[in-house]
Amino acid sequence: MMSFIGPASILAKRAEYFFPATGHFYKNPPQIVKGYMQYLFDEQNKRYTDLYAGVSVVNCGHSNPEIAKKTNEQVNDLQHTTTLYLTQPMVELAEKLAQILPGDIARTFFCVTGSEANEGAMALARLFTRKQGFIALKGGLHGRTHLTLSVTGIPMWRLDNQLVQEHIYFIDRPHSVEISTQEAMTQSLEQLEMILKKHGDNIAAMIVEPIQGNGGIIMYPEEYLKKVQELLAAYQVLLIVDEVQTGYGRTGKMFAVEHYGVVPDIIVTAKALGNGIPISTFSTRSEIAEAFTKPSASTFGGNPVAAQTALNVLQYMEKNYLVKQAQELGDYLKKKLQQIDSPFIQEIRGTGLMIGVQIQSPDPLITSAERTDEILEKLKDAGYLIGKNGLNRDVLALQPPLVITKEDIDSFLACLEKVL
């Protein structure tokens, strides 16, 4: 049994050996030492119900025994070779993805992180269209490489002042607290059309999350992406959908873009595909894939451990109806949240098990972000871990493992109501 150094030592070592950029949740954070399905355990063996899933990653549960057993077998048999050698799991995974990805999207490039996959998707769009620029939504987040940061529309995550500005265009998202969603959508589409009219002949793609995660769980009106795609098509601009956070059942559909009845040109996934083992993808239809001919390889992309794990994740999701479960439990969670009467709740957003609770602070001396932190801390003390996001860091993020139960949700809701 490993001995635990405890939260104080970890904080001290982080302060000494990490960069100040590395943040953490909570004034008094626990040391997390174990996970089992929807639960996490700290160094004192206190159990927490996890409603954040490591930012939408562990959809099948922490150290899911069925999946972990097969991952361990793969580690023992063959861990790594690169795409230069022929291995089986990665082609079987690519084949499986072709079956479940929307429309005629059937070709996949494997990499490791969401940022890397978005970067690849953007490069692919440039190769295919032979154009240069990108359009993105304010409030979107797409990664931490130079180009993906450059299309990230959340000021706090835009790392430096030297990001790409030329040929990058931001438009408003179709959501606002000041005007109606319909008006916000009209404005957003007008901005898009104006940019396309002026610069469309040198724009390769527009990149969007189908539901903004970090931006505060912002879902768009049902017809928004269809209208976006119509406008883009008129200027031969591709639509890249970033499903890094929403993919693989999270929102009650296999992919969140299905809520809008749209098939994107390129789709990017990561996080939940490996249930904690790093793997990411960008996928497209054959016509676009044909443009990607220059040699390219990600050292760890599609490695046997990640690819085999992903296959087992998809099999586990199917066998346990996790997409349906996300929709049903998500509907239940959202309905129950709407019944909570609290001056701190401004709005409840999202779908499936991707729900955001916009917090407000009626007391002018306390900011909504401080309120949010207080709620997170009290929930943690009571044994519930939730996330937070939003442009002002004042949105409670409820994105539990999809294997959570109704009983877990009921006890969480009772606790949240008390905390509020």
d(CA 318, CA 249): 10
CA distances from 5 to 2, 20, 22, 324 (A): 10, 21, 19, 41
Residue of 49, 214, 275, 361 interacting with ligand PMP (CB under 6 A): 214
Residue of 40, 141, 239, 409 interacting with ligand PMP (CB under 6 A): 141
Based on the shown chain and the rule CB under 6 A, indicate whether residue 210 belongs to the binding site for ligand PMP.
no
Residue of 71, 74, 118, 229 interacting with ligand PMP (CB under 6 A): 118
Min. distance of Cβ 66 from ligand PMP in angstroms? 24
CA distances from 419 to 372, 375, 376 (A): 11, 7, 9
Contact string 1-40 vs ligand PMP (x = CB under 6 A):
----------------------------------------
CB under 6 A: which stretch of 65-73, 135-143, 167-175, 181-189 binds ligand PMP? 135-143
Based on the shown chain and the rule CB under 6 A, indicate whether residue 149 belongs to the binding site for ligand PMP.
no
Residue of 54, 102, 114, 330 interacting with ligand PMP (CB under 6 A): 114
Cβ neighbours for 218, distance < 8 A, ≥ 6 positions apart: 139, 173, 175, 211, 212, 349, 356
Cβ neighbours for 38, distance < 8 A, ≥ 6 positions apart: 49, 50, 61, 62, 400, 401, 403, 404, 405, 408
Residue of 42, 50, 119, 242 interacting with ligand PMP (CB under 6 A): 242
Q: Which of 267, 262, 265, 222 is nearest to 247 (CA)?
A: 267
Min. distance of Cβ 85 from ligand PMP in angstroms? 25
Q: Which of 99, 173, 106, 181 is nearest to 136 (CA)?
A: 173
Based on the shown chain and the rule CB under 6 A, indicate whether residue 408 belongs to the binding site for ligand PMP.
no
Q: Look up residue 400 and give its two tokens.
A: 């539990």
Min. distance of Cβ 141 from ligand PMP in angstroms? 5
Q: Which is nearer to ligand PMP, 306 or 416 (CB)?
A: 306
CA distances from 112 to 173, 191, 270, 300, 369 (A): 28, 34, 8, 7, 32
Residue of 59, 74, 229, 245 interacting with ligand PMP (CB under 6 A): 245
d(CA 180, CA 221): 11
3-class SS of residue 391? coil
What pairing do the DSSP bridges indicate for beta strands 47-50 and 384-385? parallel
Min. distance of Cβ 270 from ligand PMP in angstroms? 5
User: Which 272-311 positions form the footprint of ligand PMP (CB under 6 A)?
Assistant: none
Where do contacts with ligand PMP occur on this chain (CB under 6 A)? 55, 113-115, 118, 141-143, 209, 213-214, 242, 244-245, 270
